[in-house]
Amino acid sequence: MPAYQLPKRRRIYLMRHGDVTYFDDSGRTIDPETVPLNANGREQASAAGRVFSEQQVRFDRVIVSGLPRTVETAQRVLAETGQRIEVEIEPAWHEIRGGKLRQIPLQDLEAAFLGVFDGIVPESTRFLDGETIGELFDRVLPAVAALREDSSWDTVLLVLHGGVNRAILSHALTAGGRTFFGHLAQATGCINALDVGSAPRDWVLRAINYSPPSPLHRDIRNTTMEILYAQFIQYSRS
């Protein structure tokens, strides 16, 4: 029998940013383009960094979407690992973009909030009357391909967003396809581990939605968007 050559793969650690607060004490929406981590989010980011440090993980590249909550999460991870590495920005990995809430009819609000993360989602589905899943794939996947084409790295950290992470994870689960699994949970501050080989279909998922402060997600039974929708309704009625 000829010798078997083990495939060579590289590691992508894919994080979601730490927790943030989207509504202030008066119920007004805080600009999602500028919102920082809250106290819980800062601890989640540091906890993730401690896990990487304990496992002696070293990053060749660290890439974020550029929104403050991703930058701050990455910085806190690096502070724990002790690495001095430039944080790169990839705008194509901004979170899925919503439209204007006030323009959405009342009877359509629940579907606008929750539909994009409900099961297997058609590419035509819009998030809060804004970007479609197809449009999300169109901007996210070319940047993923470009990352894979760069042979300079072995281990990379991406700190992105719930919707974008689902697009990347769905792409990996379908071995390079475009089926979007909206029901893939992505806790704030979570870590996913994916290996990639040289062939476009060569994806191996090692870990999904690992949350260092609460690995078993014991106290969480709702999605982020369900919680945000409940908050939105509560503040709208007050």
pTM exceeds 0.75: yes
List the structure tokens of 98.
């919503």
**Separation of alpha carbons 70 and 193, rounded Å:** 17
The band of 217, judged by pLDDT with boundaries at 50, 70 and 90, is very high
CATH value at residue 199 = 3.40.50.1240
- Within a domain: 5: no
Dist. CA 185–CA 191, nearest whole Å? 11
How do residues 76-89 score in pLDDT, each as one tens digit?
Answer: 999 999 999 999 99
In a domain, 119, yes or no: yes
| Residue 37: inside a domain | yes
2 within some domain: no
* Predicted pLDDT of residue 237: 61
Q: Is 69 in contact with 21 (CB distance < 8 Å)?
A: no
- Exposure string over 226-238, b if 16+ CB within 10 A, otherwise e: eeebeebeeeeee
The domain in which residue 149 lies consists of 10-237
pLDDT for 26 beyond 70:
no
Residue range 50-100, pLDDT digits in tens: 999 999 999 999 999 999 999 999 999 999 999 999 999 999 999 999 888
User: Does some domain include residue 187?
Assistant: yes
With residue 16 as reference, give the H or E element that holds it.
strand 10-16
Question: CA–CA separation, 153 vs 159, rounded Å?
Answer: 16
The pLDDT tens digits for 131-147 are: 999 999 999 999 999 99
Q: What's the number of domains the chain is made of?
A: 1
Q: What CA–CA distance (Å, rounded) separates 124 from 76? A: 36
